[in-house]
Amino acid sequence: MAASTAMSAGRMRLVQQLCVPARTTFTRTSSSFVRSFASTSLLGKDGDEPQGHLPGHPSSVFLTSLNDSFFDRVKPKTLSGNANAQGGIPTYRLMDGVGRLLPGVTDEMVNITQAEAVKMYRTMLLLPQIDVILYNAQRQGRISFMMTSYGEEGAVIGSAAGLALQDEVFAQYRESGVLLWRDFSIDHFMSQVFGAEDDLCGGRQMPIHFGSTKHHFHTISSPLATQIPQAAGAGYALKRTKGREGNVVICYFGEGAASEGDFHAGMNLASTTKSPVIFFVRNNGYAISTPASEQFRGDGIASRGPGYGMLTIRVDGNDALAVRSAVQSAKAKALSEQRPVLIEAMTYRVGHHSTSDDSSAYRSKQAVESWKQMDNPLHRMRNFLTDRGWWNDKLEEETKVQHRKLVIEAMGRAEKKKRPQLSSLFEGTYRGEMPGNLKEQRKELALLIEKYGALPVWSKELAKHANAGKDMEQYREDKA
């Protein structure tokens, strides 16, 4: 170590030689000036709390009984003295299993207009139409991949209906219903799935990885839970953006993703930075083949909220109206109290995980069927509307026929569209000037296409792209 230290001292003298004075190559962009803002810190001083207590928890009592000191759950305070407490965290719902308002629930509590309720149900009906048509299209090899939303229509559309169209959405991948609620066009939907020329995301990602700035829907990515801390940061930025103080971020994820480290990171960061974010967990019982019982041993995801000091609610995810009002209320609280809220929506993944999964390998078809019959978000919403005379069999039939036509026609159009031109493969890796190595590689591919483009396997693929790969010709020369 002595030798090393001596060497380091020698290097410190050499430092001067590599530290050259500022040269004329510097771009001067502004003059310096002195900031005179006063500190805005209002934090209390260390030691203000009574000695022997945890910071922030001065009410923590001391126990001397070792047995009484162990605990494994945090009970919501609303349950004090309530017999339901034995069953764990309660679930908020407004409708029963067949769509009738529960005893004590009034229309005022539901607080929804006919127009909005009908729009919700219509959008809920559109999802399975898209799902069945695209699921079959994948089975026929017309698209590469598909994930359906069967069984979660109530949770997704209900939550979307509880928000403003400008609230920012960070999704996992089973929330395309939010885009449909926001009137994302079916053509754009199909263009993404087919990787068509007019896909807003340039045909670069797998099907159902949507994104649209206009719809405040941040582009989906496959890595699970990465969007959770990002949503926390977005929430923090929103409250600091002039004119956006009335908006929140909603961040969707499944109960499986909640096991990722990013869940912990995001929840804690949103809470400590007091960011207005709604964390919306779709607890549908399965993460591909892993049942929730092998995902966690606590009381679902909701039980974790209080550990982060977060306002939390568990809601019946198949009760679209309860989900809507829970989200509305969560948003109001997130804004007025400047803090995140956790919503756990209990639902059931009726469909397979994806087109690459056959769920009958790990759960019985009978179990799925009984879920569909016993607790179906679509049936419940339909009965709610029918009871009020807002819906009938004729409308149901007409809507389904309309939706089917809409979806099939849009799919037909998307299927005929060209893919984005081939040169776009290289674009957008960096914003601004394309680095030389990428330009060189683009030239390399252009020369290869010139030589081998006529090969059947290449020419067939090239023909699927806009300009049939001819846009690459301009890059055969050095453009670096």
Partner 1 sequence: MGLSECFGRDRVFNTPLSEQGIVGFAIGVADIGHTAVAEIQFADYIFPAFDQIVNEAAKYNYRSAGQFHVGKLTIRAPCQSVGHGALYHSQSVEQFFMAVPGLKVVVPRSPVQAKGLLRASIVDSNPVVFLEPKFLYRSSVEEVPVDDFILPLSEAEVVKGGDHITLLSWGGPLYACVQALELLANPPREIAKHVPQAVRSANVELIDLRTILPWDRQTVIQSVAKTGRCIVVHEAPVTAGVGAEIAAEVQKSCFLNLQAPVIRLGGWDTPFPHVGELFYKPEAIRILDAIITSLTY
Nearest-approach distance from CB 343 to partner 1, in angstroms: 19
- Coil, strand, or helix at residue 5? helix
Rounded CA-CA distance 130/208 in Å is 11
Using the minimum distance from each CB to partner 1, give the nearer residue, 238 or 378: 238
User: Beta strands 286-287 and 290-291: pairing type?
Assistant: antiparallel
348, 286 Cβ separation under 8 angstroms: no
Nearest-approach distance from CB 289 to partner 1, in angstroms: 23
- Coil, strand, or helix at residue 341? strand
- Coil, strand, or helix at residue 354? coil
Task: Give the containing element (helix H, strand E) for 386.
Answer: helix 377-387
Nearest-approach distance from CB 160 to partner 1, in angstroms: 19
Rounded CA-CA distance 442/457 in Å is 20
Using the minimum distance from each CB to partner 1, give the nearer residue, 329 or 467: 467
Comparing CA positions, the residue from 388, 317, 324 lying closest to residue 350 is 317
149, 350 Cβ separation under 8 angstroms: no
Using the minimum distance from each CB to partner 1, give the nearer residue, 168 or 175: 168
Our CA angle for 300, 304, 308, nearest 5°, is 165
Q: What are phi and psi of 331, to 5 degrees?
A: -65, -45
87, 76 Cβ separation under 8 angstroms: no
Nearest-approach distance from CB 221 to partner 1, in angstroms: 6
Using the minimum distance from each CB to partner 1, give the nearer residue, 1 or 115: 1
Nearest-approach distance from CB 344 to partner 1, in angstroms: 21
Rounded CA-CA distance 296/300 in Å is 7
Nearest-approach distance from CB 17 to partner 1, in angstroms: 5
Our CA angle for 83, 85, 91, nearest 5°, is 110
- Coil, strand, or helix at residue 148? coil
Using the minimum distance from each CB to partner 1, give the nearer residue, 42 or 66: 42
254, 174 Cβ separation under 8 angstroms: yes
Nearest-approach distance from CB 313 to partner 1, in angstroms: 23
321, 161 Cβ separation under 8 angstroms: no
Using the minimum distance from each CB to partner 1, give the nearer residue, 381 or 425: 425
Burial of 112 (0-12, 13-18, 19+ CB in 10 A): middle
Rounded CA-CA distance 304/313 in Å is 11
Comparing CA positions, the residue from 98, 110, 214 lying closest to residue 158 is 110
Using the minimum distance from each CB to partner 1, give the nearer residue, 143 or 228: 228
Nearest-approach distance from CB 237 to partner 1, in angstroms: 4
Using the minimum distance from each CB to partner 1, give the nearer residue, 2 or 361: 2
Using the minimum distance from each CB to partner 1, give the nearer residue, 272 or 356: 272
Nearest-approach distance from CB 356 to partner 1, in angstroms: 20
Rounded CA-CA distance 275/264 in Å is 15
Using the minimum distance from each CB to partner 1, give the nearer residue, 15 or 61: 15
Nearest-approach distance from CB 250 to partner 1, in angstroms: 13
